[in-house]
Amino acid sequence: MDDKEKYEMEFVIQASPSLIYTYISTPSGLSEWFADNVNSRGELFTFIWDGSEEQAKLLSKKSGERVKFRWLADDEDGSSCFFEIRIQVDEITKDVSLMITDFAEDDEIDEGKMLWTNQISSLKQVLGSR
């Protein structure tokens, strides 16, 4: 049963799409900004924060463009929720944006957005972007 709301966010990042893709699609890249440590075994990624672990299944990825995960806890509940990190390049200005799609309970959306804002801020620091 899905009682979570979908929300989307956009962050402009001044870095090359290929570099950004490395940071959003590999365990070593994700552990630089998304979690304290990230391990993967095939499609199963383990994210570690302050000693707690969450596992996510890699649902799909398109090289240089996007990654899409589903938390195993949601998977076991039969939920169709996921989180996706997509790189978007404006054809005219060549501005690079990260598009985040995620789901949260209605009363947790603001908290989720704040978390993503903090995480993307960490990613920008790692990338040397403003």
Dump pLDDT digits (tens) for 94-120: 999 999 999 999 999 999 999 999 999
Range of weakest confidence among 32-36, 47-51, 73-77, 114-118: 73-77
Give me the mean pLDDT over the 18-46 stretch.
96
C-alpha–C-alpha distance, residues 14 and 38, integer Å: 24
Q: What pLDDT sits at residue 74? A: 76
Count of other CB atoms within 10 angstroms of residue 66 = 19
Q: What pLDDT sits at residue 68? A: 97
C-alpha–C-alpha distance, residues 38 and 5, integer Å: 26
C-alpha–C-alpha distance, residues 72 and 95, integer Å: 34
Give me the mean pLDDT over the 74-96 stretch.
90
Q: What pLDDT sits at residue 2? A: 59
Q: What pLDDT sits at residue 80? A: 83
Q: What pLDDT sits at residue 73? A: 82
Taken in order 4, 8, 9, 14, the sign of the CA dihedral is positive
Q: How confident is the model at residue 77 (pLDDT cuts 50, 70, 90)?
A: confident
